[in-house]
Amino acid sequence: MRNLVCEVALVLAAVGIAGGAEPQAVRSTLNSHWGQVWGTYVWQTQMGSGNYLPALITFHFDGTITGSDGSMFGALNPKIRTTPLHGVWERTGWQSIGGTSLYLVFDANTGAVMKYGRARSSLQFAGDFNSFQGKIFIESLTCATPLTCPDPLDAAAKWDPNSTMPPDGFQVIGQRLERVAAGPL
C-alpha cells in the first residue's frame, strides 16, 4: 500500500497538482518517463539551396495536428494561398511518429479552391523529445472546379507529388517551443 501512495504522489507531483511543480521540470519528467511528443514545435522544412520554410506545428495529446506555415501568405508562390493544416499523428516507435495532414490550396487572385494539399511525415525524436528530424512528403489532389473536389479520403484518389520535392522527400527539423518568462527583455 505504501508503494501505491508513493507512486500516486510522484504522478501528482509530475503533473503539478501536489504543490507548485515548475512546468519545465514536469515536462522533463514526463518526457524521460513516457516519451511525450505532444506540444508545439518550431518546424523547418529544407526547401533546397539552404532555404527553410518555417512553420508552427502542434501535436495534440489526442493524436491530432494543427499547424501553419509561410505558404498561407504566398511565401513559396505568390499566386497561391493555403489554409492552416489539420491532421493526425500516431506513434510508429518509441521515439518516432508518423503524421498525415490536409490543407486547402486557393488561387490568390480569385479565392477559388484549386486543390487539396497533403503532407505525410515521418519524424524521429531526440532522447529528450524536445527536438526531431525527419522527412515530409508533399502532395496535391486537383479539383475539377472550385466546387467539385475529389474525396481526399478515397484510397483511389490520384495524389500528385510536389514537383520540387526530392524523391525521398523534404528534410525537416523541429524544436519544441519553450516558455519564456514574461517581463522586460
Q: Can you give the pLDDT at residue 181? A: 94
Residue position matching grid coordinates 490520384: 158
Q: Can you give the pLDDT at residue 77? A: 87
Q: What angle do CA 124, 174, 92 make, to 5 degrees?
A: 25
Residues contacting 41, CB < 8 A, separation 6+: 56, 57, 58, 59, 132, 174, 175, 176, 177
Q: Can you give the pLDDT at residue 73? A: 87
pLDDT per position in the chain (185 positions), as tens?
A: 444 333 433 333 333 333 333 344 444 444 444 578 999 999 999 987 778 999 999 999 999 999 999 888 888 889 999 999 999 999 999 899 999 999 999 999 999 999 999 999 999 999 999 999 999 999 999 999 989 999 999 999 999 999 999 999 999 999 999 999 999 98
Q: Can you give the pLDDT at residue 16? A: 38
DSSP 176: E
Q: Can you give the pLDDT at residue 28? A: 43
The phi and psi torsions of 129 (rounded to 5 degrees) equal 60, 20
